[in-house]
Amino acid sequence: MKTIVAFLVGLLFGIGLIVAGMSNPAKVLGFLDLAGAWDPSLALVMGGAVAVGLAGFTLARGRKVSLLGEPMQIPTKRGIDRPLVTGSALFGIGWGLAGICPGPALTLLGTGAPKGLVFVLAMIAGMALFPLLQRRSR
């Protein structure tokens, strides 16, 4: 049952990304181009995502298990530190250069788009490289 629910939620998320235009790198780059031909339509998508996330976290607060019986794993760390700022900056730079972030990248990968494949391979390489760099910095 959990697998079916996870599949359906992921499918709904992917369809939402496609319908909203988040899997179209040109549309995303148009949103990020504040000095040029700015396309503000994705601001509504982001506002809706923040509202849904806020509602979800509000409902989850205080619960020990999810509606499907899994343990709740809500982050407790609230401080802003160098890894958070560095990761956010790298994410923003990558999003600005490619017009793709991880969710839409998986959607693009599912459509067979070469940009999606390149992005997902780079994302996997970055995730593999992270523990090595973290150990080296210690």
Mean pLDDT by 10 residues, the chain (138 residues): 90 89 88 87 89 92 88 88 89 88 88 90 90 84
Give pLDDT, residue 50.
94
Give pLDDT, residue 85.
93
Give pLDDT, residue 69.
87
Give pLDDT, residue 4.
93
Yes or no: say if 58 and 70 are a contact pair by the CB < 8 Å rule: no
Cα distances (angstroms) measured from residue 21 to each of 45, 54, 71, 79, 128:
9, 22, 33, 33, 29
Give pLDDT, residue 125.
92
Give pLDDT, residue 7.
93
Give pLDDT, residue 1.
84
Give pLDDT, residue 138.
75
